[in-house]
Amino acid sequence: MARDYPRRESFCTDTLNIMRAEGTKIQTPEPAGASYVPVSGKTYSLFGTGLSTEPYYERIRMAADEILSLVPGEETLLSLIREVGGRKRFLARAARRDDGTAISVVLRLLESALSPYTLNVRMHLESIPILSITDRIVRTSEEQHHLHMLEIELANRLHRDPFLRSGFRIALLPHCLRDLERECRSFPDDLDTVCAGCSERCFIHRVSALLRDAGIHPYIWRNVELGSLFRRLGRKECFGVLGIACVPELAWGMRACMARKVPVVGIPLDANRCARWMGRFMENSVNMERLRDLIDRS
pLDDT of residue 190: 79
The pLDDT of 201-218, averaged and rounded, is: 95
pLDDT of residue 40: 95
**Does the pLDDT of residue 155 top 50, yes or no?**
yes
**Does the pLDDT of residue 169 top 50, yes or no?**
yes
Contact 243, 197 (CB under 8 A): no
**Does the pLDDT of residue 9 top 70, yes or no?**
no
How far apart CA 206 and CA 217 sit, in angstroms, is: 13
Of 137, 154, 165, nearest in space to 274 by CA: 137
Could you count the other beta carbons within 10 Å of the beta carbon of residue 8?
A: 18
Residue 64: which H helix or E strand, with range?
Answer: helix 54-68
**Does the pLDDT of residue 120 top 90, yes or no?**
yes
Cβ burial 220-249 (10 Å sphere, 16+ → b, else e):
bbeeeebeebeeebeeeeebbbbbbbbbbb
DSSP letters, 201-233, are T-HHHHHHHHHHHTT-EEEE-SS--HHHHHHHH
Lowest mean pLDDT among 21-30, 110-119, 140-149, 213-222: 21-30
pLDDT of residue 35: 62
3-state helix, strand, coil in the chain (%, to 5): 50, 10, 40
Choice between 130 and 75, residue whose per-residue pLDDT is larger: 75
Of 150, 172, 166, 19, nearest in space to 76 by CA: 150
pLDDT of residue 3: 41
The pLDDT of 188-198, averaged and rounded, is: 86
DSSP conformation class of 45: B
Going by pLDDT thresholds of 50, 70 and 90, the confidence category of residue 201 is confident
User: What are the backbone dihedrals phi and psi of residue 193, each rounded to the nearest 5 degrees, phi first?
Assistant: -75, 145
pLDDT of residue 21: 39
Could you count the other beta carbons within 10 Å of the beta carbon of residue 134?
A: 7
Mean pLDDT taken over the chain? 85
Encode pLDDT of 32-73 as tens digits.
444 689 999 999 999 999 999 999 999 999 999 999 999 889
The dihedral over CA atoms of 87, 252, 229, 133, expressed in degrees to the nearest 10, equals 70
DSSP conformation class of 130: G
How far apart CA 156 and CA 135 sit, in angstroms, is: 26
DSSP conformation class of 177: G
**At residue 8, what is the residue type?**
R
Of 271, 253, 145, nearest in space to 203 by CA: 271
Going by pLDDT thresholds of 50, 70 and 90, the confidence category of residue 100 is confident
Give the rounded percent of residues in the chain with a pLDDT score beyond 70: 86
The pLDDT of 228-240, averaged and rounded, is: 77
**Does the pLDDT of residue 20 top 50, yes or no?**
no
Could you tell me the strand order of the sheet in which 187-188 lies? Answer: 187-188, 193-194, 217-220, 168-173, 239-245, 264-268
**Does the pLDDT of residue 131 top 50, yes or no?**
yes
pLDDT of residue 24: 37
The dihedral over CA atoms of 134, 138, 143, 147, expressed in degrees to the nearest 10, equals 100
Beta partners for residue 168, in sequence order: 239
